[in-house]
Amino acid sequence: MRNAERVLAAYAEAEPWREDHDAAGRCFELEEVVAVGNLAFQLIVSIDAAWQGRVAAGLVPYRDEDDRRIGELHRMWVEASERRLGEIEALGREGFEVQGAEEFLIHLDEARSLIESRALEAQMRPIEEVLPLARGNPRPERYGA
């Protein structure tokens, strides 16, 4: 019985250290994932900006397919990144600071905003299409006849 008690005592003492060590290891691994996530976001934003710049300069024609693919890159990044939020929060509660997490969260907010903007842009219609739907113009001097 004493041997069992000693083994149990050693196990009980080892576990807090092991948990701390495991948490530190999880933190380090998550920091690597967050760093890759931050780089991936910067790559997507760079691709998007370069494409928009070429379209605006008339160097390449605007294509719905290109716009859709870039929007899909943003959506994929957000989906993958949102899965990491719980891990970042859990390690924070355990007293760990995940390096790069602050920048990561800023990127996540920005990417969500970009996706929302794209959704709104898809709903926009030229004024010429909308005017016939109006029930009269309450301010023709402001909004045209």
Structure tokens at 80: 């993958």
pLDDT digits (tens, 9 = 90+) for 92-128: 999 999 999 999 999 999 999 999 988 887 777 676 7
> How confident is residue 18, by pLDDT bands cut at 50, 70 and 90?
very low
Average pLDDT score over residue span 23-39:
90
Q: What is the pTM of this model?
A: 0.71
**Residue 132: pLDDT over 60:** yes
Higher-confidence position of 138 and 115: 115
pLDDT digits (tens, 9 = 90+) for 61-87: 999 999 999 999 999 999 999 999 999
The pLDDT value recorded for residue 47 is 93
